[in-house]
Amino acid sequence: MTHILVTGGAGYIGSHACKALAQAGYVPVTYDNLSTGWQDAVKFGPFEQGDLRDRARLDEVFAKYHPQAVMHFAALSQVGEAMSEPGRYWANNVMGSLTLIEAAVAADCLNFVFSSTCATYGDQDNVVLDENSAQYPLNAYGASKRAIEDILRDFGASHGLNHVIFRYFNVAGADPDGEVGEFHRPETHLIPLMLDAIDGKRDALTVFGTDYDTPDGTCIRDYVHVCDLVDAHVLGLEWLKSGKGSRVFNLGTGSGFSVMEVIEKSQAVTNRAVPHSIGNRRAGDCTRLVSGSDRARDELGWNAKRSTLETMIADAWRWHQNGSYEK
């Protein structure tokens, strides 16, 4: 059996990655401290509780399973919190990742798939971002992810650590089988916030600004289905196993949807009104942020098969109605 260590495997994207790995014939070993993840989401392989900064615990897990690769999702990821508490992000994301990378190298586990973010690009408005775009992160979240990318390159040069880095945009949707889904506390993502508003679980959704230079005046963002996203991670693992070397890939659709388009499509999918109000613009919100993902398509053979707005909302709505980790 080929074991893959999945950090953050009890979280939203990590749990979907574990299912994709199991379907591809791997045994995903979830390593998670459950600070934001849910043990009920661990359904596709063994679970090991631990913190990224606990080197002794990591060494124990590497020795127990001898994983052939690491798939690294675990991170703090709230932009607002990163602005007010940057030290937490440098300590958890960067120091935790450094400890993980050192443990992997010591265990001779030299294939590493890393979950990065478009936040490393910063505020580059109204351009299609590709892997060669300059990186100007605006907060400790984006900066910490860029720093981890640098660490991976350094360990690639010094220790032969082969790595694939995925920088992705707005992740949405849920497992169409309903086994795992998106469940954050607190919730900050647009689609689950909107579904909560539909259900009366929170106040009306606030639309931050309707005076942007877009067809309906609201911001445009690139959304990718979580299942498409994790499919790319499995392809990235296969890329490394075939000896093709380290590479960076963006993941998105290259088009994007406005906030009002998401609201209108949600009303059509759920057949229910989305309570919403209009607020002022938020500082730092770009007009249009979309990904150029030609490299992932051309080199990995990746296609965003489920990343239509209707499918992402329908899958999220099904999970929202039936799935929960909170008891």
Strands (E), 81-240: 111-117, 127-129, 162-168, 170-172, 205-208, 220-221, 223-225
Radius of gyration of the chain (CA): 19
**69/67 Cα distance (integer angstroms):** 5
Nearest-5° angle of CA 103, CA 106, CA 112? 60
Query: Is 141 labeled as catalytic in the residue annotation?
Result: yes
**241/249 Cα distance (integer angstroms):** 17
Total H helices, total E strands in the chain: 11, 15
Cβ–Cβ under 8 Å, residues 127 and 133? yes
CA distances from 156 to 74, 172, 241 (A): 20, 32, 15
Burial of 301 (0-12, 13-18, 19+ CB in 10 A): exposed
Cβ–Cβ under 8 Å, residues 230 and 17? yes
**236/302 Cα distance (integer angstroms):** 10
Set 26, 65, 141, 212: catalytic member: 141
Residues annotated as part of the active site = 141
